[in-house]
Structure 1
Amino acid sequence: MATHSPPTPAKSWLPMSLAGRAWLAFALLLLATVPLVLAVEPAKQLSAWSLAALGWLAALIAGMVMVRIAHQDWQSLRNALTALAERNLSQRVHLYRTDTVGAVGDWLNLSTRRLADIFVDLQRAGAELRHAAGEVSHAAGRLSHSMDQQRDLTLSSTATLEQLSASLDNMSVQMQDTAASASASHQAASEGEREVSEVAAAMADLAAETRALRLTLDGLHQRSGEITQVVELIREVAVQTNLLALNASIEAARAGESGRGFAVVADEVRNLAQRTQVATEDITQVVAAIGADVGHAVARIEICQDKAEHSSAQASAAAQRLAGICAVTADTRALAGQMALAIDEQRDASHALTRNVEARDVLAQENARHVHETADVSRYLEQLAIKLEKLVGAHTL
């Protein structure tokens, strides 16, 4: 990495200043000794001059040594400061003196060591930050991919449920028409009113349990197991509808020509129930991975199943008692009412499931946005860590 060195002065002025002082001291010594030598007797002047010359030589050598040492110390300080300016923190000053210059050298060494320690800590922190940011970015990428897959599955489930809801709406209208036609023969089944009332009460209990089940499932809105329970409910109702449609076909066959129209409706109901079973199996495969805590809902489903079986037994008993009065019309009315109820339950459950899936899609989109924001922040932190490592790497530690 290119560095900008500080301008180098033409001469080292401080050592030259010391040299000037040394020469000045030598000149003063020379001026002081010459008059003293001249004042000595002529016979002793030769010895005096010899002693003076030796003193001058010793003073000259001592001055040169002092200048040399001072020059080396200041040169060491200058080299250390130059290295520090060039981002080299490994240079040290080696002075063996206790004056101000030595204190400056010790202070410079201490400051350089502390600065190098700081850069080492920064380098280590930058590496850890870059590693952590990379891990967060990688995890966010995996989570984003998983959420995209889940959203695709949610959209597919929503489309299937919308088709199922449309079919159920059409069948509900048909069953309402069939129930209205069957109600016209209610006068012929007056002797079986008590049994039918018991069936109605049992079915009311079943409806109450079903509503409780729906509230329970609404309470599990945040749990992915809610979808699995609703699909299981649809499957159970489809099985019951299929059985009811089969019974209706049998009764219509027994009725002969007068029950042919109802047999067609029963076949359509059975086909719809089979399609519903296939659709629920597809939905179950899609949401099987997100099933969770549904023990309470399963218990309520078992209660509903028991009550449905009890109601079916009561309906069979009522159908047998009403056979002597108006077998065909009574069976038609009972089966039409049961199928209408089953279709309404399927429709309500399908609508609830659609709302839940749409709500989960909105939540998934919000989570995806947060994941993308987290990934952006982690990438920004990783870039900052790389810049920090480059900055520290430009210094020699």
Structure 2
Amino acid sequence: MFASLAAWATDEKAVLKALGCSLAIIEFDPSGTILTANENFCKTLGYDLAEIKGQHHRIFVDPAEANGGGYKAFWSKLARGEFHACEYKRSAKGGREVWIQASYNPVMNAKGVVNKVVKVATNITAEKLKNAEFESKLNAISRVQAVIEFSPGGEIITANANFLALLGYQLDEIKGQHHRMFVAPSEGQSPDYEAFWRKLNSGEAISASFKRIGKGGKEVWIQASYNPIFDMNGKVTKVVKFANDITDLTEIGAGLARLADNKIDQRIDKAFSPTFEKLRVDFNIAHDKLQQALLHIADGTTAIHAGALQISTAADDLSHRTEQQAASLEETAAALDQITATLKKSADGATHARDVVSAADRDAKTSAIVVRQAVEAMDAIATSARQISQIIGVIDEIAFQTNLLALNAGVEAARAGDAGRGFAVVASEVRALAQRSAEAAKEIKSLISASSTQVDTGVKLVAETGKSLDRILGQVTEINGVMDEIASGAKEQSAGLAEVNIAVNQMDQVTQQNAAMVEETTAASHSLSQEAMRLSGLLAEFQIGRPEGEPSIRSALQKAVPHAFRSTATGMKPSRDAGPAKRAARGIASRSNPQSAATSQTKVVNGAPLESGSGAWEEF
């Protein structure tokens, strides 16, 4: 028997030693005085055995707790042999807080009297802190979120105050009820709802936005997560749901969706919870500002469109008139070019005529000299003719005397008879010769007389010719002076027209540039009108609405500037052909080639020919 007791004691010591390797063990007497402690305990509390041996247990507890009645009762119970096991907060060396899971075990002697108390403890400080942190987090979540717990089948186990307030129930109204009481009947009977709980029972967490039905049919939107809770074997024991009320956010989302759908005519008038009330107010302020901005944009767009239409009409009219003026200037420039060329040709002709007249003047002067010389020569001829006539008279007289002598010689020869017959023959021959000389002298005299008459006539004619040439010379001199004046005037006119032509060309270029600028302005006004129409089309996609009694800017503008809302004038169509910008280049090119510009018979304005006889000159 003693042997078995010894063996049992040995075995017990071995067991205690083994437990001491992993557990903190300390022994007290029944009053609480420390008898001994193992190394694990000393490490847990941070003491050496010598520091605590003989000290009372109260060194490990808070002074307030040690001085309380509960602490004394605690040791009284242990002294009576009552066992205690629990979690305890103890103070380690330096005041450090330590949590232990411990059992206080009274050890009795053979008489049943407690002779010591053995405390076996495990340090659970880390687990306690972790659990405290976890509980703090859960409490924090519970303070701000709606929390409800379900059985795996969906029956309600419990719910916090936030959840109850959110749905409007008391806990006893929902405890034991199924989750489907929070959903619409059609949803609660749907296959999707059954699948929802099957997923949770399979351990799958679900997080989404849900619409739930509160007490009295109140619709509530929540952002919730359903979280399966597992036991040690991985089996789902319950489902914890954490939810936030997003009903107000859903309203805001619906309002934003309406805005995204271009519906700017619905405010959120229902008050939100204090948390989101400012968001609702800000949404309404933003909504109102956007609505007002779009209303102003819409009215302004109408005014812009009307103004752009008026500008476009005026620009089209100005473009039309500018094109006509450009065409008129172009024709004017061409005509001036032609006139300039004609005047230049006339000036050249006048210069040539002046040269011809000058040559004629010189020839006339030369002719006058020749005529005077001819008159002098004719006078000399007349004098010579008179002298010849006198000589012929002498010859005629000699012939007459010779004839008389021959007659006398014949008479004497006749008287002499035969002795004078030869002399008579000679005298007869001399008389015949004298008669022929007399006849020749008469003929010469007659010819000389006729020649003298003709010479006198020629002298008179030459004299008259000289007088005529003198008169012609005076007239040619006068004509030469006039031609000099004409040539000088033609040159001055040509120079003046050249300057006018330069000025007209400059006006033409400026007009063409103005026409190009007008065309750009017209295009810009049409573009502005199109942009205004496009903006109106975009605004038409919005359902803006207008506060009652608020007049539109369009109506105010129609009263102030009604002409801005009139339709385009009839027949005033903008030019769509090659505009002034292109004709400007053509006009400038024509200036460099006046001949081609001058020969152009028609111009084109707005795609139609403009005859030179049209009203363009009058308009110009």
Q: Taking structure 1 as the reference length, what is the TM-score of the superposition?
A: 0.46
Q: Taking structure 2 as the reference length, what is the TM-score of the superposition?
A: 0.31
- Ranked by relative contact order (alpha carbons within 8 Å, sequence separation 6 or more), the top structure is 1
Q: Which one has a larger percent helix, Structure 1 or Structure 2?
A: 1
Q: Give 1 or 2 for the bigger CA radius of gyration.
A: 2
Q: Which one has a larger percent strand, Structure 1 or Structure 2?
A: 2
